[in-house]
Amino acid sequence: MSTAERFFAKCPNQRSESSRHFALSEKSAAKHKSARSMCIISGFLKSERLMATSMVATKYIVGNWKLHGSTQENAVRLAALKAGCRHGDALAVCVPFPYLAQAQQALQGSAIGWGAQNVSEQAKGAFTGEVSAAMLADFGCSCAIVGHSERRALYGEDDATVARKAQAVAEAGMTPIVCVGETLAERKCGEMVQVVTRQLAAVLAHVSAETKQRLVIAYEPVWAIGTGLAASEDDVREVHALLRGQLEKAGVTGTRLLYGGSVKASNAGALLNTANVDGALVGGASLDAEEFLKIAQAARA
């Protein structure tokens, strides 16, 4: 089984296995280490190594290509990523819908997974232009981004819609990467805490218990997306601690928290070493294979 297959595999018994981890003594843990290694990552789900920030060894780096690409550009970029990716890296790229087949063909069997940038909350029916979670799964997707600020701002997606999309992704056996984040105006007005906790609370209130265990949360301050102004380490530490506390209060432990917002090679090291940061959701920098691989390198440090 390749690194990517282990990383993005479906693991229906993940939660029960994770619970047993805490009861293992050091001697017992060593005995079970070999068996656990076959399910280290499993598609951004909770594995035994992912149940607490202090135990996390692998940072997830997810590229969001947004509305960019062509078959020719993609071929060059995907080949470069595949060639430069190292064994044990935890990488994925979320590509535009038309290029899912190309990503699947190029990356299958590699250490890089692929996913989508959006999904319909509908399973099937007369919904022209929509793409269901089951359709994404047909292309081998392991994850899908939901609730990105651009979807919320430009296409009117509200918290309830984001929650339904997250549930649809999880029901199709994939991992929902749920984005939360405040605008600059909201931050200046002192509403950051209210906004991000409301966005997360809406998801936690509407998804199933099983889906809660599959969630990955990406904090993307809207004012830092595509502006070149990354949040400071203190900003990120504050919000991620807030989200971690909210999740644990809801009984959800081990959730991966990603930071997104002008992540690049020059700041990735500091951001990825901030408390409660388990990876990064990378926008513009993911379009440059060399830059993206440098971020992956920073994640290994």
Model confidence over 271-284: pLDDT tens digits? 999 999 999 999 99
Task: State how beta strands 279-282 and 143-146 pair.
Answer: unpaired
115/93 Cα distance (integer angstroms): 6
Model confidence over 67-99: pLDDT tens digits? 999 999 999 999 999 999 998 899 999 999 999
Half-sphere exposure of 98 (CA within 13 A, CB side): 8
- Would you mind telling me the total number of residues written for the chain in this entry? 301
Q: What average pLDDT does the segment 255-273 reach? A: 96
Q: Is the pTM higher than 0.85?
A: no
Contact 245, 279 (CB under 8 A): no
Percent of the chain with pLDDT over 90: 76
* Complete DSSP assignment for the chain: --HHHHHH---TTHHHHHHHHTT--HHHHHHHHHHHGGGSSSTTS--GGGSSGGG----EEEEE--S---HHHHHHHHHHHHHHPPTT-EEEEEE-GGGHHHHHHHHTTSSEEEEES---S--SSS-TT---HHHHHHTT--EEEES-HHHHHHH---HHHHHHHHHHHHHTT-EEEEEE---HHHHHTT-HHHHHHHHHHHHHHHS-HHHHTT-EEEE--GGGTTTS-PPPHHHHHHHHHHHHHHHHHTT--S-EEEEESS--HHHHHHHHTSTT--EEEESGGGGSHHHHHHHHHHHH-
Is 77 exposed, middle or buried (CB count within 10 Å of its CB: 0-12, 13-18, 19+)?
Answer: buried
Q: What average pLDDT does the segment 170-196 reach? A: 96
Which residues are marked as active site?
Answer: 148, 220
98/182 Cα distance (integer angstroms): 30
**The predicted structure's pLDDT at residue 7:** 39
Model confidence over 109-167: pLDDT tens digits? 999 999 999 999 999 999 999 999 999 999 999 999 999 999 999 999 999 999 999 99
Half-sphere exposure of 106 (CA within 13 A, CB side): 23
